[in-house]
Structures are given as structure tokens and as C-alpha cells.
Structure 1
């Protein structure tokens, strides 16, 4: 798949943003959040707005939609024109009508955007209730048609389903159907694939492209991943600290970026080339897992259902200083394996030997003395760090529980903050005062405070910007080299696995389908599912560091 090379110079302008300035409401004294943003999108064109968290991408989209939080942010100056009409001059009622009929938005997390107590078919129908005078049968037929257009299976069943009964990809398709049912001229997609598996992400990107070509919709696509940009963009605007620092056609941005910041974003994208194989230590494994499995028994006494095998027959060994990657889509069983190893859930079969002790079925009081040897870093550090505790309390809690004196625990916390590149005064602050990447560094510091033998990282970088992701991966590698920690790294992204893993296990529907050294599995995959994961990696056809197209891909 090559980069897009389409000419839109003769197409009508759909969205024209000129010198947009957004700042705090009710005051003009503070520094604005957006500093004179200008961009233009033509009919049928996809413009990607790229930048790290805090760059102003989402504020730009919310200003365009007229959804800036009232009383907090406001447009100070500039113009936002949709097909020649200035949106900033419209009243609230006019903007409500405009949001459904002329411009629409897909949000990042459909589970929070959809009503959990209303069937999804009814939620799509609400758009037609508010903005058309169609009859009941016509509305239902139109909703089922748009659901088919977004390639949902068994649309009659899904029409009656609630959001929690659908997969993440299906929920995102519902959001796309809702956004496009009235055929708006502009679609704004705010990080619509960030939380999705790479295979589902590929399907959603292809779907947006397909529907765009069918309806001639202009698309403003917001993302932090230049790999996604390479898949879908015609043109690009790179944002940093509320300013557009570079813009141009996708080919120019990828081949000859002018700004150092743009080059940094490109260089941070992980590639599929596996790390150079390292010699395997000769000492015995620190962990051995044998035929590990977890079966869930669903239903009740009067409503029996077949048991669900979330994981079965998982076997591997892990030596000190090595990283094992467990990869697969949502529902593949990788997180079930991680939680069974950690004894956050109890396995139903198999064995987990940690330093020679089988911990798979130990009662929890006996398990406590082994906990310090086995620590975990979760996907969302904001949820795993206590928001009411200072960073000092979070970092010293574990050591204090295991009998280390307070002075020693605080000294170790200061040392760990230095290792993860955070200032010493961070000890007196709270989690909400840090960025997502900084919070993940704190979570890593907390996990290694007890000097564990094994660290389990469960999707530890999937929610982070690619540049922050690269920093966290480097940090894990440095810690591993310094203290010889063994890492089990759970991810759905083979690009990430290639950067950090010595060995890889590929799981599908609870079963290991391929296993071996990362250099072998990723370079010469034997199983069709592994090849599917590799083919779904965004930007796989582009060498971002070398600024060139990979002809062989």
C-alpha cells in the first residue's frame, strides 16, 4: 500500500479555519491554548491533525464542533467556515442542527459516548428523530442500511443490542454509522482507533476511507500515531503547544520533514524489525509456566451455558534479564495469562513456578511472601495510582509493608525517581499533577521498588503517545539491564513487541498459535494469524526513520 497521491486543488473547500485563537473564558490575560491555527480541507480530502497529548488537536476539533466547555474555554478570535458559512456566528440552536446534518464527530472511546441503557439501533434512530420527518418504517430501514454500510454482521440482532453486548470495534462502527447517517460534508474523527487492536484498527481505517470515497466526505482525522497517518492521510498538519509547526501533503511530511519536532515524531514510531538477538543466560529460569489454563463457567443453576476456555495449555520459561512478549487481539487470552501468573485471578489448571516455588494454587496468606518477587504495571496508571496519595506514599507503601524502615524506603523512592527521570520534588505531588507518560514512569518505579524478579507489563504503553511510548520502552530496557529483571510484556501491537522482546508468544482465542525467538517469529511467521497481525500494523510499508517507502512490503 503506497501513500495517497490525490489532487484536490479543484475541489470545493469544506472546512476553512483561519487564525483561530482559543483561551480561557472570561479573560484575555492568560496565554491562549491555540495560537492562530489555520488549516483547510477540501471535499473528499483527509487531513490528519498530528501531535502529542496537549498539543491542541482536540481543542481545535471541539472549537469546530462548537463543543468547547462553557465557562472554561472560548474562541477569542479567528474564523471557522464550513462550506463558506462562519460557524462562530451561529447560535446554539443553529449549531445543534449543523452538528448532525452538516458536520459530525467520532470520539475516541465509544463506550463512554454511547448510552449504556439504550439499544444501539435506537440511538442511531434518535438522530433521524431529531433532524428528519421520516416515518417509523423508513427510519428503521435507513438505520439498518447504514449499519450494513459499516459492515456490521447480523444487523437485526445488533440493532436490538446494548453497547456492552458488542465488541470495541463494533461499538466504533455504531459511532461511525451514527455520524454518517445524515451524510455530513465534514467528519471529525478524534483518535477513533487508539483503543483498538491493530486488526480492528485496520478495519476501521479502511471503513472510513471507503465511506469517504462513497459519500465525498471531507475528513479531519486526529491522531498521535504517524503510522496511522501514513495509512489514511492526503495532507498533514503537525501541532505542538497550540501551534501548527508544519503542514503539507503526506509525501512531503514523511520524506522531507522540515521541523525537528516532526522528525522526532517520525523517529519515535516503532518498526517491525526485531531487536538484535541477545545471548541467553545460562542460569536456571526465574519463572516456569506449564500448561497454564483458565476456564470460566457461565450461567446459573437453572441456565447452564458451555464453559469458556479463556486460556489453555500455555507453557514457557523466562530467564533473568529476558523479555517475553505475549501478543494477540482483545479476547486472545493474553491478559488472562498475565493475571493468572500474578494470581490476580486463580488459574484452573497448570503450574506457575517462581524461583522453584509453585504459586499457582497457594492460599493467599502463603502467597504474600512471594508477591514482592512478582510485580505488575497496568495499562492506565491513573487508575492504578491512588489519587489521594502523594507519590511518596505510593512508592514507599510496598517496602514499608515488607519491613523496610521509612528512611530507607524514602531514600529508595528518591533514587527511583531519578532513574525514571522525574524531579525529587515529585514525591510531594499527586498523580493528577503529572502527564500520562510521567504517571506510567511512577507506576514503573513503584513496581520495581521491591526489586522483583519478574515484572509483568500489561499493555503498559498502549495508551501513550508514540514519543512517550518510546521513552517508556527505553526506560524498561535500561532497568532490565541495570538490575537484571525479567519482563513479561503484554501487547496487541507487534511493532512494540519487536522493539523490546527477546521471545514472543502469539495467542488467539485462548490458545498459543506460535511461539519462539522474536527475530524468528516476527521475521518469518509460520501461522496465518501472526501474519495477519503483522499486516495490520499501521505504516508497515513505510520506513519512517529512513524516510522511504519499503518496496518489498
Structure 2
């Protein structure tokens, strides 16, 4: 793979942190969150800041933006923007600076955009606050930047609300808002994590294109090493609030010096599919000609019909994993929700252990529910924040007649299996990291001893090392319990490592289906080939670091 090899020695410094130190109140157990961070970004340069959750990546970006929460304070160091130290500035001065000289793109545009304002008004609002341009000129410039980010039908989208746009379109609106005033520095905090590979590729190309046109310095925060291989000029690796290694992207990815960096690289799944496990004849789930159609009704006028799933058919046997991949809107999650009967299919059969559950009533479904469990993408939203972990884990078994003592004993055992201490039973979801919460969500699903586990983007929000641990956990549980898994994902690297068979969906229809080695190794359909070509860092094999990472104390803690 050819890495970016641009030289920025002669370029002006856009932003520089010098011994940046951020601390919690003195009463905290570990007061320092950032410990002497030194980062330099020059005009036109892309710096990637990588590390696990809790390493300090986002705190660094928030410190630069002057958006640290009240509990965190900068206790030492400088943040120099084109030579000007930002730390002594007042809040009013920082508000003037944001968007005009430093702008930020967040991971989830749906929460960053105002849901009750049209997106065009949100772009012009930036100019209204920071310029003296008349309304007509503000609108003209907003339309121009929307065209630059390659939005279709910009006049219509200008008048649209965020919920009327796709995830990729919302992210383009965020980029337009960030760049409309041509800031010196653009901070992108995990802006492509929740996007499918083709949309991700478009957004990465767009940021690079706009950067070249405007000479913007980019600080890109990510846990996706494929993205790093694709876009970075310079890489800083963070761990526990410190920079442990930094250098040009080729140096970091080809010749990392630290065990921690090698362990991060070794955690990245390979695009080469794993060998499939032996197939067995014990069918646990059979879906036949499943259809889901939205629309067609309406009180005042007939609404257009949307075919979210078209004649989807597949068979899943015990102990195997079926991956369903495709872009956003391809129908992956619709199929998953139909299987779970969270939504009702329009037609077709869903046979669970031989029983067709597609049209059963809620009461008729109840005996089958325990055989079919789900793990969602965000465990913080699927776990009740007011319940202890013990209550979340035992609720299902208690509803099906298990005694409290048996349920508690099984909950304690499963917590140990997923790598958490028994005293976690008496804590609440907010007391755990994202990876730990996902382990709890998996334990909750397995508590029911299901035949089929549906995992809907269950690892997409996790950093690479935690992702690898969760995938290993699913594999371990599958081998021990013989669970069949339906794995919904937009990450082809993850699909290659966990799936025995793969279904590729496009616009609700299955366009390719077969063993993972065939579908991902030798794709037949042009759409499948396009998905694989769009995977960031697809030509880079991170697995040559796996043996090095197996040295003592090498794997990230």
C-alpha cells in the first residue's frame, strides 16, 4: 500500500499544544487526564490521533475547542493557534473563534444538528454569528459550500430538516457548517464510525478534497486503523492521557516502536476471511421469501411504497454465524428486526426450530422469545440506567420461571465468562466503559440460553482492541453453547473474521450469498466488489503484528 508522503517542514504551524495538562478535581483518584501533550499540526496536514477509549483523544480536542466540561481544568501548558495562546481567552473570545478559525465535526450529526431547524438555516446561522454578510450573501455562500460537499439537489436539501436526510447527507451538512468560514483547523472526532464503507470513503475523500482546496489543517480522531492508513500524514498514539508514540504514518504502521502500538495494529481484523467451520444439518433458523413493505397508506394521500426487504431467504444452522452486510438503507436491520419480531413482516416465513413465528401474536410469541435474543449497537441505550446489572441480567430468566437464587448464580457465572468481576452485579451501567457495557449486554442475551443471537452492529462503536476482545468472546460463547449468530455489520473486516456465511444486501434485496471465503474473497456481484474496494486501508494487512503483540504485556490493557 502506498501511504501519503507529503512533507510539511516548510508549512506554517496551524496549531500546537505544548505540555498540555488537564486534570480532574484533587478529590479524584487519578487527577491527571492529559499529561503533557505535545502535538503539532501544520497547514494542509492531516494528523490522526489514535488510541483506545479513555486514552484522552476527545479530551485533547475539547481542550483545543475550549469546550471542556466544568469538572476538567487545564492546569499547565499552552494551546497556540497560529502563534496565539488560546488558554487565556475568555469564553466570549472563544465563541468568536469557534467556526471562524477552529471548527469541529462530531461523530453523530443527528445529535449535533438542531432537529427543529432546516439545515440550510443552520449553515447560514454560522455566518450570521461570525460575519456581517447580508442574508442574500449568506444564503448564496451556504448553497456554494453545499455544492462543494457534493450534496444532490441542494435547493431541496437547504429546506430540509435533519431527519429527512440520510446519515451521509447529515455528515456532509456538518462538514459544510464547519468549513463555510474556512477555519485554520478542522477537528473531526470519529466522523465516519457509524457510516457504511462506501459513504465513509466518500466522506474521507471529501475532507481530503476540501483540505486541498482550502489549505486546512485537520486533526482526525479515530479508532479505525484502516482510516489512518488511508488519510494520515502524521500519527500520534495515545494511552492513558499520554502520547506514547508519534511519527509519519508509514513509520507508525510499518515500523512501530512500542508494544502498545503493535498491539493496536494487531487488533485490526483482516479482510481475508477466516476458514469456515464445518456445517451441520441442525437448522435453527430458516427465513423464506421475507418481505417488508412500508407506506402505501395515508389519510389524505397515498404514500409511496418502500420495499425495505424483498424476498429474503436464508438458512442458519447451529453453531455458525451468518453475516448480513450492505450500505445504510440496504435492509440489513429491517431483516434483523423482522427476525426478532420487533416489527411485523409483510409476508414470508421465519422458522425458528421448525415453528413459523412470522405471524404469531404477542402471546403466541412468548414461548419462542427465549430462543431468540439480540445485542444492539449501543448498550447504554439498551440497558436500563436505573437498574443494577443484576436486575438487568436476571429479568429475563425470572420472567420465564427461574428462581432468583438460580438466576443470580448464573448471572455471576456469566459475568466471569465475559471477563467482569462478580461485584459488577451491584453496579449501574454508567459505571462501566463502552466495551464492558457491551459484554454485559452479551451476558444478558446469553442468560436466556438462546438458539439464535442477533447482533445488530454490536461492535461498530468500539475501539479496535475492545472490538477484538468482544469478537473473541462471541466466538468462545458460540463454541461452548452452540449458539447460531446473525451478525449485522457494515464493517467488512469484522464480517471476514467472524462470519461463516455472508449475505450482501442492496436496496432490500439479496445480491450475493455464500460462504464468507467466496463472497469476500472472490466476489461475483459488482456491488459486493464496490463494497470491498471502498474498505479503508483495504490493501494493508495489519495481521503481521499479531505475533509481536502476543509478547508479555503487549496487548492493550
TM-score (norm 2): 0.96
CA contact (8 A) 2:17 2:39 kept: yes
Aligned to 2:372: 374
Residue 407 (structure 1) aligned to one of 405, 408, 424: 405
Structure 1: segments with no counterpart, 5+ residues: 549-553
Question: What are the superposed Cα offsets for residues 55-112 of structure 1, whole Å, 9 maximum, x if unpaired?
Answer: 111111111111112x311110101101111111222222222112211111111111
Q: How does 1:375-524 map to 2 (within 5 A)?
A: 375-524=373-522
Question: How many Å apart are 1:387 and its aligned residue?
Answer: 1.2
- State the partner residue of 1:36: 36
2:4 aligned residue: 4
- Aligned equivalents of 1:450 and 1:405: distance in 2? 13
2:261 alignment partner, SS class: helix
Match of 2:550 in 1: none
Show the counterpart of 2:96.
97
Aligned to 1:193: 192
1:114: which partner in 2?
A: 113
Bigger shift: 192-201 or 76-85? 192-201
Structure 1 vs Structure 2 CA RMSD: 1.5
Q: Distance in 2 between matches of 1:424 and 1:53?
A: 23
C-alpha distance in 2, partners of 1:301/1:66? 50
**What is the CA deviation profile of residues 416-464 of structure 1, one whole-angstrom value per residue up to 9, with x for unaligned ones?**
1111111111111111111111111111111111111111111111111
Question: How does 1:226-237 map onto structure 2 within 5 Å?
Answer: 226-237=225-236
- Contact kept, 8 Å, 2:17 with 2:40, in 1: the verdict is yes
1:17 to partner: Cα distance: 0.5
Structure 1 position 14 matched with structure 2 position 14? yes
Q: Give the structure 2 partner of residue 551 of structure 1.
A: none
Paired residues of 1:254 and 1:547 also in contact (CA < 8 A) = no
2:54 maps to 54
- 1:209 is matched with 208
* Cα offset, 1:252, TM superposition: 0.4
Tell me the SS of whatever aligns to 1:286: strand
Change (3 A) 1:343 1:238: same
Distance 1:75 1:158, change over 3 A: same
**Counterparts of 1:393 and 1:310, CA distance in 2:** 36
Distance in 2 of aligned mates of 1:184 and 1:30: 35
Corresponding position: 1:357 with 2:355: yes
Q: Distance in 2 between matches of 1:336 and 1:497?
A: 18
1:274 corresponds to which residue?
A: 273
1:384 Cα shift? 0.9
CA distance in 2, matches of 1:495, 1:100: 35
How far apart, in 2, do the equivalents of 1:55 and 1:201 lie? Answer: 24
Query: 2-side partners of 1:496 and 1:512: how far apart?
Result: 20
Query: Within 5 Å, which residues of 2 pair with 1:242-281?
Result: 242-281=241-280
Q: What SS class does the counterpart of residue 543 from structure 2 fall into?
A: coil
Question: Counterpart in 2 of 1:79?
Answer: 78
C-alpha contact (below 8 Å) 1:103/1:186 kept by paired residues: yes
Q: Secondary structure at the match of 1:238?
A: strand
* 2:173 is the alignment partner of 1:166: no
Query: How many residues of Structure 1 are paired with residues of Structure 2 in the alignment?
Result: 546
2:336 and 2:91 mapped to 1: Cα distance? 49
Structure 2 contact 285–316 (Cα < 8 Å) conserved: yes
Aligned-residue offset at 1:297: 2.2
TM-score (norm 1): 0.97
User: Are the equivalent residues in 1 in contact too, given 2:262–2:545 (CA < 8 A)?
Assistant: no
Secondary structure at 1:263's aligned position in 2?
A: helix
